[in-house]
Amino acid sequence: MSKMILSPAERSYLYDSLTQAPPIRPDSRTDHQFRPLEAKTSFLPGSNGSARIRLMDGSECIVSVKSKVVLSALESSLIECDIDVSGFRDDSNFVSNLKFYLTNLLQHNFPTQYLKLTSRYAFKLFIDCIVISHSSYPLSLISLTTYLALKTTRLPLLVSDVNDEEVAEQPTFSDDWDNAKYIGDFMKDGEVFQPPIFITLGVIGPNLIFDPSTEEEQVLENGLIVSFYGNKVITPISNINLATNSNNSNFKGLNRSLITKAMALGNKYCPAVVKALDTLIEQDDEEGTIF
Amino acid sequence: MSDRRRLIGPLNTIIPNIGISSNATEADVFKGPSSATRNEDGLRQFFLKTGIIENANGSAYLEVGGNIIQVSVFGPRPIRGSFVDRASFSVECKFLPYISQPNEQLYNNTTVNAGSTANTGPTNANANGRTGLTNIEQKISSYIETALLPSIVLEKYPKSTIDIFVTILSTESSNSGSTKVDAALLGISNWVLNCSSVALVDSGIELKDVVTSGVATLKNDKLLLDPEVISSGEDNENTLTCVVSFMNLRNDEIVGFWMEGDQSKFEESQVEQLIDGCNNMSRQVRANINSYFTSTLE
């Protein structure tokens, strides 16, 4: 599957525009600006948390979070991710890599201690992502949608005794769904529940551009994946060829200074992204309607 | 070498004499990497050999510590159908089925049976029967592909494919380690990359530069090059591990970058330190590879 969406003349024009200082992007965004998105949360009745993000180019991702009570000693991890991308096989390199990225990020940067119910039992979260349509590399889209879904995940209230070290007891939960608590409600004062996110950066000339569109991806010299959690840039950080299967002849190595520059830009602009997502959740109060 | 269109069986096939004792003494047991095998520059010694697979266009074999890696390069091979003006390039990395992959419980969704701790065998269900790659194998494949892609002069080979097949015959990782440590994964990726570069040179495909790679760990502000697999029990907090691949003769351009590790005290200066460390190691590996090739010419 080789994508040829730009002619050589268009490629050259776009490349020259993006290497300017500051870069001139086709949709007149600044270098650190994301594409506008539309989001909806808590619309799947059978899930503990759900979210959908749509971009203006028709990209769409739905994430559902479900929980299950497990014996924590038997689980290697309390979070399990699955990703489905329409048009790609589940065992393809593309989907496997997305899954690896998301699992890796959440595994290292999630306050799993708040999922523990008693000394024996814990909630296990199953995060299922479906990418219905996408044009640019969908990792950032998936991760932002996951952020919204996790933020709006509600877990039923435990009514049985927390201490089951001496007397074995099956956990029981309140029948009233209104008593369910957000993951953030379990946290101590002063702590805020902010799941980790990924941002994709395009490397072109001396510039780094946030959230490259599919046309921009065709001319990029390299790409970077940067993760953000707890108000700062964290690992994993890696480079990536964003235009998979394309005939991108610009792809080349990157200067080391761009890696630290990417971290600095992430630290500078990601808090605004997280804040925008939090505002989205606050404003999104109509229940049940997604159309 | 004559038939480039299809994969034929190896020319140098040996039929094993099954049932006949060769009076061999018991195979040497890997004692695991120790500091004794380290050179003055802080790197572990590695064994390298090229051209071991006759029907591949290029091949390389590398042993370092407990890792054994074999890479074969097929290409440029003609493709049928539509015209492409540049070669397409692909990498496929596989572990042998009985080899435990670093952190496989986490990434490959293999089930862990906590009840049977005695079972140290493969946890991959139906590992011998699987056809596709696991998530870890896909991830390593992608890293190698991304890092080598800028070095190959693909324009020289229109309507062709260049395929790299990596087989990991042994790793020094153990499943008993903490599931939070990805250092083993980065370590193996580093050596797979170095071995693949050598195989590419052996194949005679035109390259802009030989990509070499280094891996470094920063623990409590102490930098360690080419870290061995961190044993279980050890405290893994405050450890940053990074693999960086360079084109050392092209301004040390970074073609591959992958960093994992602890989050609490993560700063840009540490990243600088790690990149410096990886660059030093990459240059050492490059020097070794260069001298290997000059010695084979004689």
pLDDT tier for residue A1 given thresholds of 50, 70 and 90: very low
Interchain CB contact of A237 with B (< 8 Å): yes
| Nearest CA-CA distance, residue A251 and chain B, Å | 6
- B233 located within any domain: yes
**Using the beta-carbon criterion (under 8 Å), do A254 and B254 form an inter-chain contact?**
yes
Q: In a 3-state reduction of DSSP, which class is residue A70? A: strand
Position B224 scores a pLDDT of 87
CA A110 – CA B32 distance, rounded (Å): 34
Residue B83 carries which side chain, given as an amino acid letter? F
pLDDT in tens, B49-77: 999 999 999 999 999 988 999 999 998 99
What CATH code is carried by the domain that includes residue B193? 3.30.230.70
CB-nearest to A260 from B114, B266, B272 is B272
- B207 located within any domain: yes
Number of helices and strands (H, E) in chain A?
Answer: 5, 11
- B54 located within any domain: yes
Position A123 scores a pLDDT of 95
Superfamily for domain range A20-283: GHMP Kinase, N-terminal domain (3.30.230.70)
Half-sphere CA count of A153, side-chain side, radius 13 A:
28
pLDDT in tens, B83-128: 888 899 999 999 998 888 887 777 876 644 433 333 334 444 445 5
- CA-closest candidate to residue B197, choices B133, B273, B288, B127: B288
Q: What percent of chain B has pLDDT over 90?
A: 49
Mean pLDDT computed over A83-108: 94
Interchain CB contact of A74 with B (< 8 Å): yes
Rounded mean pLDDT of chain B? 81
Contact (CB, 8 A) for B148 and B91:
yes
**Using the beta-carbon criterion (under 8 Å), do B268 and A260 form an inter-chain contact?**
yes
Position B42 scores a pLDDT of 76
Rounded mean pLDDT of chain A? 91
Domain containing residue B92:
42-113+127-297
| Nearest CA-CA distance, residue A103 and chain B, Å | 7
Position B120 scores a pLDDT of 39
Position B219 scores a pLDDT of 83
Interchain CB contact of A113 with B (< 8 Å): no
pLDDT in tens, B124-147: 444 555 678 999 999 999 999 999
* A93 contact residues in B (CB cutoff 8 A): 133, 138, 141-142
Interchain CB contact of A107 with B (< 8 Å): yes
CB count within 10 Å of CB B156 equals 12
- A123, exposed or middle or buried, with CB in 10 Å at 0-12, 13-18, 19+? buried
* B114 contact residues in A (CB cutoff 8 A): 73-74
**Residue A181 tokens, joined:** 């608590």
The CA distances from residue B43 to A241, B39, B46, B228, in Å, are 30, 6, 9, 10
Contact (CB, 8 A) for B259 and A235:
yes
Contact (CB, 8 A) for A202 and A248:
no
Q: CA angle at residue A189 from A188 to A192, to 5 degrees? A: 80
What's the per-residue H, E or C state across chain B? Answer: CCCCCCCCCCCCCCCCCCCCCCCCCCCCCCCCCCHHHECCCCCECEEEEECCCCCCCEEEEEEECCEEEEEEEEEEEECCCCCCCCCEEEEEEEECCCCCCCCHHHHCCCCCCCCCCCCCCCCCCCCCCCCCCCHHHHHHHHHHHHHHHHHECHHHCCCEEEEEEEEEEECCCCCCCCCCCCHHHHHHHHHHHHHHHHHHHHHCCCECCCCEEEEEEEECCEEEECCCCCCCCCCCCCEEEEEEEEECCCCCEEEEEEEEECCCCCCHHHHHHHHHHHHHHHHHHHHHHHHHHHHHHC
Interchain CB contact of B280 with A (< 8 Å): no
Cis ω before A45 (30° cut-off from 0): no
State the first-to-last Cα distance of chain A, in angstroms, to the nearest integer.
33
Please say if the pLDDT value at position B179 is more than 80: no
Contact (CB, 8 A) for B96 and B167:
yes
Predicted complex ipTM = 0.93
Mutant choice from A259, A263, A265, A270 vs B, greatest count of B C-beta within 10 A:
A259
Interchain CB contact of B116 with A (< 8 Å): no
Interchain CB contact of B135 with A (< 8 Å): yes
Number of independent structural domains in chain B: 1
Query: Comparing B265 with A6, which gets the higher pLDDT?
Result: A6
- B20 located within any domain: no
**Residue A257 tokens, joined:** 């200074």
Position B5 scores a pLDDT of 77
* Domain residue extents for chain A: 20-283
- CA-closest candidate to residue A59, choices A85, A30, A27: A85
